[in-house]
Amino acid sequence: MILRRLAVVVRAAAVVGAALVGAGASVALSMPAYAHGGDAPDGTNYRTRVSEVTPALPGVTVRTIEAGARLELANHSGKTVEVLGYDGEPYLEVRPDGVYENVRSPATYLNVTLTGGAGVPADADPAAPPSWRRVSGEPVARWHDHRAHWMTAAKPPQVTADPGREQRIRDWTVPLRVDLSTAEVRGTLDWIPPPLPALWWAGAVLGAAAIGALGLISTRSPSPDRPSTPVSESTPGPSPATSSTLPAAGPMTAASTLPAAGPVTAAGSSSGVGAVSGLMGLVLGGVALVGGGVAIAYAVAREIDAGKTGLGGILLGLLASQIWPVVAALGAIAAGAYALAGRPAADFALALAGSCLALFAGVANAPVLSSAIAPVPWPAAAARCLVVSVIAIGAGLAAANALRMRAVARLVTAQVPATDADETDPAQRPAAS
């Protein structure tokens, strides 16, 4: 029996593990062909906005992406748009056939990271003639521009003096050049007071507790000194004479060893309780599907905010920069489908998947709970609701199914002595009177 149960648990773990292996293999195959902003913030309290491009350039649009960490310039004008660096030197050229960067511009190296900490080679000279290198085949440039965002961990003096008030940090400009004409991207940088993270964490804890409570339904196993099968008060028990004619108990089968867990009352048998427990298993499976779907939705939203377009671009972005949240979400979906199919050891699969979901897709995105600006194309409050939901669902699934597994383990332990007694050598049994 023990070997049978171990085999069932291994099969359940394989359901979740298959999603991990499959997603990991996909990442290994796709990573060399795709580059992504790995230093995109999980949240920030600095709001970067593009106000205008002046004078207006038909076919040219500029916006912020990755919660303001990068600027994106899309050029569909048919002309070459040049972005100037910090010393007024040519930095980027967005041509109809793609994006080119000047390897002699110091901005090419300073803009590699969000903090500008990359080293600048000695031959990077803003006064030198430009040397162009193609970096993209589409006329869309995305780059960190340190004129548009706050770079240091220390707050600006005015924010330190009054952090609870929304306030302007500075206005910024990025110079452009089209043919012989000049233009500017103008924008603003503001401080936005952060929300109270304690309120959002309290919501996550309450949600996890509510889902975890589902594990208490129909999981109380009968105590060892209580009969497994109820005897109605109106039905007389067997007489001693009748008892003496009963056949000796044979070996206990798997069905009798593992009855449906649940409270046993004098009003009915445990079959109804087992039905309720099975229903709760289906409910928890459905909750896992919802949790996995919410986690994937948040990961997709981050990729859209990072400038990804089209199904292929979003999928590659997910595999390149959102691998662990995606793997955890796929594991939760696989475990939920496994439970809804009524497969054995579904409680184990749901507990494992819930733990991974809460950790890798929930807690990993927890900085958004204390940030005013979220890296999604929705309001920050909606992003916080999604993250709280993922944490609550994941932690709740882990708790509920741990309780269900504990109840089954107690029930099995309570019946082990009876099994041992039934399987003793017949020669050692006392003779029937």
CA-based nearest residue to 9, from 385, 349, 293: 349
Span 182-209, pLDDT tens digits: 999 999 999 999 999 999 999 999 999 9
Span 365-412, pLDDT tens digits: 999 999 999 999 999 999 999 999 999 999 999 999 999 999 888 877
Helix axes 346-356, 323-340, angle to 10 degrees: 160
CA-based nearest residue to 369, from 381, 359, 356, 353: 381
Helix axes 323-340, 380-422, angle to 10 degrees: 50
- The structure's pTM equals 0.76
Percentage of the chain exceeding pLDDT 70? 74
φ, ψ of residue 259 in degrees (nearest 5): -70, 165
Distance CA 243, CA 264 (A): 24
**Rounded (10°) CA dihedral 10, 12, 16, 22:** 70
When pLDDT is cut at 50, 70 and 90, the band that residue 255 belongs to is very low
Span 288-317, pLDDT tens digits: 999 999 999 999 999 999 999 899 999 999
CA-based nearest residue to 402, from 219, 201, 207, 203: 219
Distance CA 390, CA 315 (A): 21
**Rounded (10°) CA dihedral 394, 399, 403, 408:** 40
CA-based nearest residue to 80, from 165, 183, 149, 228: 183
Provide the 3-class DSSP secondary structure of residue 173. Answer: strand
Span 86-115, pLDDT tens digits: 999 999 999 999 999 999 999 999 999 988
* pLDDT at 427 (0 to 100): 55
Distance CA 264, CA 406 (A): 17
How many helices (H) does the chain have, and how many strands (E)? 11, 10
Confidence check: pLDDT of 272 > 50: yes
C-alpha pair distances (Å), 29 with each of 26, 68, 215, 346 = 5, 30, 40, 31
Sign for the pseudo-dihedral over CA of 175, 176, 181, 187: negative
Mean pLDDT for all residues in the chain? 82
Q: Any idea how long the chain is? A: 433
